[in-house]
Amino acid sequence: MATLVRHDRPRDLRWYLAGPMFFGDLGTSRLYVLGLALFYAGVAAPYYVAAICTLVLLVGWAYTIVCRVNPDGGGVYSSGRMLHPTLGVVGALLLFANYVVTAAISTYVAMIYIGGPFGMARELAPWLSLIAIGALGALNYVGSRRAGMFALLVCISAIAVTAIMASLTITHVPEGWGAVAPPSGGPWKMWLTFVAVVLALSGVESIANMTGIMVEPVKRTSRLSIWPVVGEVVLLNLILVFVVVSLPELGEIGIIADKDPAQITEHEHALKDQVLYVVAERYIGHAFATIASIVFGLLLLSATNTAIIAMISIQYAMSRDRELPEFFSRINFYGVPWYGLIGACALPAIVCILAQDVQTLAQLYAIGVVGAIAINLGSCAYNRDLKILKPERIGLWVLGIFMGIIWLTIAVTNLWATVFLSVILSGGMCLRYAAKWVAARVPPVPVPGELAPELAAEPVAPLLPFDPDKGRILVATRGNLNLLRFAFKEARQHTANLFVLFVRDINVLFPGRERPLSPEEDGEAASLFHAAREMAREQGVPLQDIYCVSPDPSDVILDFAATYAADMVILGVSRRAGVLRALRGDVISGVADNLPAESTLLIHA
């Protein structure tokens, strides 16, 4: 009897959900980019913010093309891999380096925004960041499904707070306009200042990775996701940067980056690290500034969580494609690749401790994202198999080359960024070499102890064939042998066929396309099906086992119950604690609320 296998990756991500997720990556950059522009350029900051906003618009346009021509996943790993596997790996490692620093700088700045209004010492931020990253790692270990809703609520709150701040301070824009001074120094210095704030582009790759789960047509969904976010980022950044330079003390402070680090005051650090809090407190009031600062901090923590999830997904997809050792695709009970989770939390924590300040983190930041964007745009422009119009292709080439020039500038002028990226690239390539030459010994999903004894040799007695004249009972379980025995007892009493459904929930954003997980690799599923077949032979019950990989077990159970017209659906009471059910959702409630009236739901405690 063959196991029925289905991989369910539903396209249910609508634009009004993808947009906030995209904003959670791209929109958070203003919380430190405006301060960094002020740090490096002083009252000339609007010139650089305007230049970056122009680049954001152009790159946003480019990614509408990338998403359109790659509806099954348009991230740099996929685009580069279409041309050559090594190019895809290099692009993925560049993006991974970007996410490492995204998590580090987002958490660091979040601690400053949350703790600043309450008098927290800035020196505590790196150590509090360790605690925050550890807490997010624990949350991701169980694959929380509530994180997405939390991110949406925080995103909406942040947009609302920023809009209120902009509307209440817009009267200061003329003052800022009058205070603006032209950039100082020669062309090379101005170019370096521009490169120093190019990290505003961070997060743009995230929208391309979502195309595989977007509602079709992806062309329309991606555009509706990209343009509102890009428009909001550009508009409010331009308004707020003029409000920032309207602060009266800036004329005396000058360019902070030109000062001796030991001479930088706490107020100047605040302008660099939490400039929107300073503006809100000065022009609106302490109460509003405190609320806004906390909301911004939560938004940054949400960005950290997104970066952790993205790093896990990159490692998992590369492992499934045999570009990393297979233990990176080994998942825990909750469907989370836990080796990947360790790296996704440990590396940002290490970077936080070593960097200790925002400008150092920012210097490490851009080299990853700029390189990833350059490879993605260049790969799409070069790939003649993609349906891209000639003017679009030329635009992609121009932008890709421009991003490549920025990347070379960072690599040549920023030693620590080059060292950091070299460590990531060399480490990733060494792991890739190990994956190619060392035989895999670790199964992606281990066999749990309670099921291991069931892995006996397959008996030779044949199974009874499916009988369409008999009733149909569906039991869904992840390995509860007591529930399985109860289901066979019910099937025998009702003279019914039994469907044993195993749903593997893999909690990764992009699981890859080349080697989806099979029941033979899933020790937990293989053990359950062995046990089910033995029981079927012993009790004379027709059996069909079903293996499905899906992010939504409730929908899968309902789908198969309807497809096979199940007379009865049997579920077991979850043994997870109430907190875990709250984080991951309750499968029984999801099934009970939507099960057709023709099917009976039987819950076995």
- Distance between CA 265 and CA 248 in Å, rounded? 16
Residue type present at position 236: L
Pairing status of strand 568-572 against strand 496-504: unpaired
Cis peptide upstream of residue 217 (ω within 30 degrees of 0)? yes
Q: Specify whether the CB–CB gap between 363 and 414 falls below 8 A.
A: yes
- CATH number, domain containing residue 551: 3.40.50.620
- The distance of Cα 104 from the centroid of its chain, to the nearest Å, equals 14
Domain that holds residue 278: 4-437
Number of structural domains the chain divides into: 2
In 3D space, the residue among 603, 605, 509, 493 whose CA is nearest the CA of residue 551 turns out to be 509
Residue 521: inside a domain, yes or no?
yes
Vertex 342: Cα angle to 336 and 344 (nearest 5): 90
Here the CATH number for the domain that contains residue 90 is 1.20.1740.10
Q: What distance in Å separates the CA atoms of residue 299 and residue 151, rounded to the nearest whole number?
A: 7
H/E element, 276: helix 275-283
Cα dihedral 81/143/309/18 (nearest 10): 90
Domain end position, chosen among 437, 469, 485? 437
Query: Hey, which residues does 337 pair with through a beta bridge?
Result: 331
According to the model, what pLDDT value does residue 456 have? 46
- Count Cα neighbours of 529 within 13 Å in the Cβ-side half-sphere: 24
For 27, half-sphere exposure in the C-beta direction (CA atoms, 13 angstrom radius) is 34
Ranges of the chain with pLDDT below 50: 454-456, 577-580, 582-583
> What is the CA 574 to chain-centroid distance, rounded?
28
Instruction: Say if CB 550 and CB 503 are below 8 A apart.
Output: yes
387 plus 464 within the same structural domain: no
| Spatial CA neighbour of 282 closest among 238, 252, 246 | 246
Q: Please report, for the chain, how many H helices and E strands are present, in that order.
A: 24, 6
Question: Is residue 417 located within the same domain as residue 506?
Answer: no
Q: How many CB atoms lie within 10 A of CB 101?
A: 29
Kindly state whether residues 433 and 456 are assigned to the same domain.
no
374 C-beta neighbours (distance < 10 Å), count: 23
Do the domain assignments include residue 446?
no
Alpha-carbon span 440 to 434, nearest angstrom: 10
- Answer yes or no: is 589 within a domain: yes
Tell me the C-alpha distance between 206 and 229, whole Å.
Answer: 13
Which pLDDT does position 574 carry in this prediction?
63
- C-alpha to C-alpha distance for 602 and 590, rounded to whole angstroms: 14
What is the b/e burial string over 570-601, where b = at least 16 CB atoms within 10 angstroms of the residue's CB? bbbeeeeeeeeeebbeebbebbeeebeeebee
- Residue 443 domain flag: no
> Are the CB atoms for 238 and 1 separated by under 8 Å?
no
Find out whether 336 and 142 touch, Cβ atoms under 8 Å. Answer: yes
> DSSP 3-state assignment of 384?
coil
Tell me how far CA of residue 333 lies from CA of 330, 348, 444, 504, in angstroms: 10, 25, 12, 9
Burial of 279 (0-12, 13-18, 19+ CB in 10 A): buried
Q: Of the residues 382, 411, 437, which one is the last residue of a structural domain?
A: 437
DSSP category for residue 458: P
Q: Are residues 290 and 225 in the same domain?
A: yes
Distance CA 83, CA 540 (A): 53
Q: In what order do the strands lie in the sheet with 600-604?
A: 4-7, 543-549, 496-504, 471-476, 568-572, 600-604
3-state secondary structure of 50: helix
Q: Are 423 and 518 within one domain?
A: no
Q: What pLDDT is stored for residue 399 in this prediction?
A: 96
How far, in Å, are 174, 247, 256, 432, 560 from residue 251 at the CA level? 16, 8, 11, 53, 68
Closest listed residue to residue 12, CA positions, set 144, 147, 209, 210: 210
Whether residue 403 is contained in a domain is answered as yes
Question: What is the pLDDT, as a whole number, of residue 454?
Answer: 47
Looking at the structure, do residues 393 and 497 belong to the same domain, yes or no? no
> Does residue 329 lie within any of the structural domains?
yes
Q: Can you give the pLDDT at residue 260?
A: 84
Q: How many CB atoms lie under 10 A from the CB of residue 104?
A: 28
CA-CA distances (angstroms) from residue 273 to 35, 112, 116, 250, 270?
6, 7, 10, 15, 5
Domain identity same for 212 and 330 = yes
Same domain, 433 and 459: no
- Asked if residue 124 belongs to a domain, the reply is yes
234 and 127 assigned to the same domain: yes
Co-location of 246 and 174 in the same domain: yes
Phi/psi of residue 475, nearest 5 degrees: -120, 130
The last residue of one of the domains, among 437, 463, 497, is 437
Question: HEC string of 328-347?
Answer: HHCECCCCCEHHHHHHHHHH
Q: What confidence score (pLDDT) does residue 511 get? A: 59
Q: What angle do CA 134, 107, 292 make, to 5 degrees?
A: 125
135 found inside a domain: yes
Whether residues 404 and 483 fall in one domain: no
> Could you tell me if 66 and 89 lie in one domain?
yes
DSSP string for residues in 63-77: HHHHHHH-TT--SHH
User: Which residue is it, tokens 């041309």?
Assistant: 83
In Å, how far are 366, 469, 472, 603 from 541, measured between CA atoms?
61, 13, 11, 21
Q: What is the DSSP letter of 322?
A: T
Closest CA to 551 of 3, 4, 73, 12: 12
